[in-house]
Every structure is written in structure tokens, then in C-alpha cells.
Amino acid sequence: MPHSKTNRLLRPETLTAVGIIAISVAFLFPTFDMRAMSALLPASMIVGLIVLAVLLLVSDQRKAGAGEAAPSMTKAPKRVAGAFLLVVAYALATDFIGFYISTAISVPLVAWVFGFRNPLGLALATVIVVGTIWLIFDFGMSQEFPSGRLWGK
């Protein structure tokens, strides 16, 4: 067996997945104190994040079991830093120009930073994400998202 049990648990993707799961579970608890309609979006997103992290964990542990070497943690540090800065910029933009405009700009921008360059695919992904959010939460559930300080609302 090429890797010991300790090394298998210290793989970067495994640690990332465990960290995401732990933080997500911590963020999930406050949603229990919210009204059901208010808690639906954050709780569903957090549960989705937990599911994706579990899939990452299982995938990485299968690779470890097969003897595959762990990828370097600093494989693309500029992309990781760029994505983090985009998340911060998105949060600020949501406050100033509103949720839908910020999301319509951020979805293709983040995909572009991570190497997806197909303009049709970027446009389609943006329409699907923003449109689905609007259909479910604004149209279907009459929930309003921030419209931004810039517009005075």
C-alpha cells in the first residue's frame, strides 16, 4: 500500500471537503431559527454544498485507495485568489447594484477565471442560473432579493 492511513486523510482535497462540510454544518444551524420561507434558500444552498463536498471527499478517497498521487495544493494559486476576490466583489456588488445584476456579471466571470471560454456556454449558464433563481424565488415564492443601494432600495 503506497500511502499510510494518515497520509490518505491529509490529502488537500480531503481536507478541503472536510473543512467545507464542517463550516457548512455550522452555517446550517442558524437556519433552523429562521422562518421557513426565509430559510429555504440558504438552507438548500448549504445542503447542496454539503452534498458536493461529500462527493469530493468520496472521489478523493477513491483516488487515494487506487494509489493515485494527491494533486498539489498550490496548482493554481492565482485562480484560487482570483475566485476569492470575485466572491468578495460579488458580495459588495450585491449590496450596491443588487442581486440579479451582480449574479448576471459574476456567473460568467467566475467561469472565465476557471478557464471556461465558450461565449455561448457562458451566456447559457448565466441565463439558466439567474432565470432559475428568478423563477423559483421571485416568481414562484414572491421572495425579493436585494436591489442595491445604488438604486435607492
pLDDT tens digits, 102-146: 999 999 998 887 788 999 999 999 999 999 999 988 888 888 888
Tell me: the pLDDT tens digits for 79-99? 777 777 888 899 899 989 999
Closest Cα partner for 60 from 107, 110, 19, 120? 19
For position 39, what pLDDT does the model report? 83
Q: For residues 51 and 70, what is the distance between their CA atoms, to the nearest angstrom?
A: 21
Cα four-point dihedral sign 22, 61, 71, 87: negative
The residue extents of the domains of the chain are 1-71, 76-153
